Amino acid sequence: MKEFKGIIPAMATPFYDDESINVDELRRQIERHIKAGVNGIFCLGTNGENYAMSTEEKEMVISITVEQVAGRVPVYAGTGCITTKDTIALTKRAKELGADCCSIICPYFAQNSQESLYEHYSNVAEAVDIPIIIYNMPARTGINISYKTVSKLAQIPNIVGIKDSSGNFDNMLRYIEETEDFAVFSGNDSLILWNLMAGGVGGISGIANIFPEIMVSIYTHWLAGDYNEAKKVQDSIRPIRNCLALGNPNSIVKRAANLLGHKLGPARAPFNVNNKDIDDALIKTLALYKNQVSGYGK
C-alpha cells in the first residue's frame, strides 16, 4: 500500500469559458504540482468543484489524472455523494480507473447523526476494496464527525485516514490522539505545521493551487527538522489565506491562480468570481509572494 502523507494539492478542475473541462490544462496542472514536489494528487475535492460535476465528468477527471500521474505519486479521488449507494458506485469506479485512495465527504444537505455517519462509512468500506480517507468539512455538510466516531471507523482496515477541514485544531488533535496508524491530514492550510508537530501526516491544500512550492516547503522543512523555517513559511501564507474571506473560498483560489497565469478558467456558475475589487485585492496580495515563487506570473 502506498503511503498517504505530506502535501497533497486539492486540485482545481480547469474549465474553458463555456465551463467544459479543459483536459490539456488539467494535465499541465498535474505536471506543475509534481514538479513542485507534492506527495500526491487529489482530484474532485471541494476545490475540484465535484459538487458541480456530473458522474461522467468525474469519471473522466479521475481517468485523466491517473493516466497523467502514471504512478509517480498516489492519486486521491473525491467520491463522496449524498447517498451511500451513489458513494459506493463512484468509489468502485474510481478503483477501476486506477485511483489509489478515495476521499469521502460526509453526506450533506439532509440532517445526519453520528450513528448514521458510522453506518455510512462502514457500509462503503465493506463494499469497496480501496483505501478511504474520511473528509470532515462541517461548514459545508452541517455536521462535524466526532472523534469517537472516527476512533471506531479507524478500526476498519481500509479506512486509513481523515482530512479535517473544520479549522478547529482541538478537533483535529482529538482525531490524532484517539487513533493509531491513522493518517490525519489538515484540510486547513493554516494548521498544516501544527498538524505535523502534533503527530498528523500533512495537509490537503487548496492554496497549493496558487503556490504549490510554498506549501510543499512547509513539509520539507519540517521533515528536515528545520522548525524555524517551516514556521516562517507557514506564517507567510496568512495574507493569501485572508483573501479567502472575499468570497467562496475555492472560487477565490481559482481566481488567484488565474491571475498568476494558470489557465484554470472560471468556477462553474453561480460560483464564479469576476469582480474588479476582488481582483485588485488579490493582485496586491499575490505581489507579496513574488520572491518566493519560481516563474511568478508566467
Question: What are the angstrom distances between the C-alpha of 255 and each of 2, 201, 247?
Answer: 33, 29, 11
User: What are the backbone angles phi and psi of residue 288, rounded to the nearest 5°?
Assistant: -65, -20
Question: What are the angstrom distances between the C-alpha of 186 and each of 4, 130, 158, 165, 246?
Answer: 13, 21, 20, 6, 22
Cα–Cα distance, 294 to 289 (Å, whole number): 10
Which amino acid, residue 156?
I
Cα–Cα distance, 69 to 2 (Å, whole number): 14
Catalytic residue among 58, 95, 163, 254: 163
* Residue 163 is among the residues annotated as catalytic for this protein: yes
What count of other Cβ atoms lies within 10 Å of the Cβ of residue 148?
12
* Residue 135 is among the residues annotated as catalytic for this protein: yes
Helices (H), 22-167: 23-36, 55-69, 84-97, 114-127, 138-141, 147-153
What count of other Cβ atoms lies within 10 Å of the Cβ of residue 237?
21
Catalytic residue among 135, 175, 219, 289: 135
Q: Pairing state of beta strands 41-43 and 101-105?
A: unpaired
Grid coordinates in use for 248? 467562496
Cα–Cα distance, 99 to 83 (Å, whole number): 21
Q: Which long-range contacts (CB under 8 A, 24 or more apart) does 289-293 make?
A: 289/211, 289/214, 289/236, 289/240, 292/211, 292/213, 292/214, 292/236, 293/211, 293/213, 293/214
Biggest CA–CA distance in the chain, Å, is 50
- Residues tagged active-site: 135, 163
